[in-house]
Amino acid sequence: MKAPTFKYLRAESMDDVYAAFAEYGDEAVILAGGQSLMPMLNMRLAQPAVLVDINPIYELSGIVLSNQKLHVGAMTRHVEVANAELVAETLPLIGCAIKQVAHRGIRNRGTFGGSLAHADPAAEMPACAVALDATLILQSHGGARRVKATDFFLGVMSTDRRSDEILTSIELPTQGSNHAWAFHELSRRHGDFALVGVAATAQRRSEGLDGLRLVVFGCEARPRISEVVASRTLVPQDVAEFAAAVVKDLDPMSDLEGDAEIKLIQAHALVERSLNDLLAAQPYD
């Protein structure tokens, strides 16, 4: 478990990154927190020719609130997201879900942007980004491109990022007292990737909820909004029907932890709990 030989470039600025892309193209891989990349290197599952270390680029880190949007720099560590009062107040879904991301040591190094760019279908943050209708800012030498989270994730560890682009920040519309949220995850042990999980938000109406953005993650190749219930109003007596509809629309992948049939049973339980949580949630101030 020793990494193969690679060239290491320390990027001090965005220009350094663009220069590396220009020189090495696909051969250049971004090193952010390294919590997925370094094990893959040591197991020789990835053998990139060049690592471009963006840790020195200070401006890629930080959490800022402006125009009812939270702007999270791609290099912001999970621990900073987890500790930020701003996140807990304006995006409680992320405040809850971030605690399920691996363990403390990994959260200290791992980054918010790295998790999105890595696009593991069982990871929590991509699912939350989709549920919260996040926008990802991708920059290249030619300028910035804005991509909705719903369009960004294409498949297992596959995204819309082009090889000359770097994910620099994420915009998340904040939520207020008219929103409800729910998060449930089944994993073997606390901090493991989800066997199945649900991230959901909705808007309160005088009766029930609408604008339901419910993502079942960890069982399909990418996190996506469950469209079958997205345009309907949820009232308590419809929970069972909604849950059945969401699950019917799923096409789970089998893995070591269970076949598709088992995943559907588990997803059903978590979707039902999430819908009940959304309905039961007290308005927050």
CA dist list (Å): 193 to 20, 42, 154, 185, 216:
32, 20, 19, 9, 13
Which residues on neighbouring strands pair with residue 197, listed in sequence order?
Answer: 185, 217
Angle between helices 260-280 and 239-248 (to 10 degrees): 140
Edge to edge, what strands does the sheet with 7-10 contain? Answer: 7-10, 50-53, 28-31
According to CB under 8 A, which residues from 176 to 195 bind another protein?
A: 186, 188-192, 195
Counting contacts by CB under 8 A, is residue 258 touching another protein?
A: yes
Q: Using the rule CB under 8 A, is 34 a contact of another protein?
A: no
CB of 213 to another protein, least distance (A): 22
At 232, is the secondary structure helix, strand, or coil? coil
Please give the backbone phi and psi of residue 183, each rounded to the nearest 5 degrees, phi first.
-145, 125
Nearer to another protein by C-beta: 72 or 195? 195
- Phi, psi dihedral angles at 246 (to 5 degrees): -60, -45
- Judged by CB under 8 A, the residue of 66, 85, 237, 256 near another protein is 256
Q: Which stretch binds another protein (CB under 8 A): 56-64, 152-160, 212-220, 263-271?
A: 263-271
Task: Rule CB under 8 A: choose which of 22, 43, 240, 253 binds another protein.
Answer: 43
Between 102 and 141, how does the x/- string for binding to another protein read (CB under 8 A)?
Answer: ----------------------------------------
Residues that bind another protein (CB under 8 A): 1-5, 39, 43-44, 186, 188-192, 195-196, 256-259, 262, 265-266, 268-270, 272-273
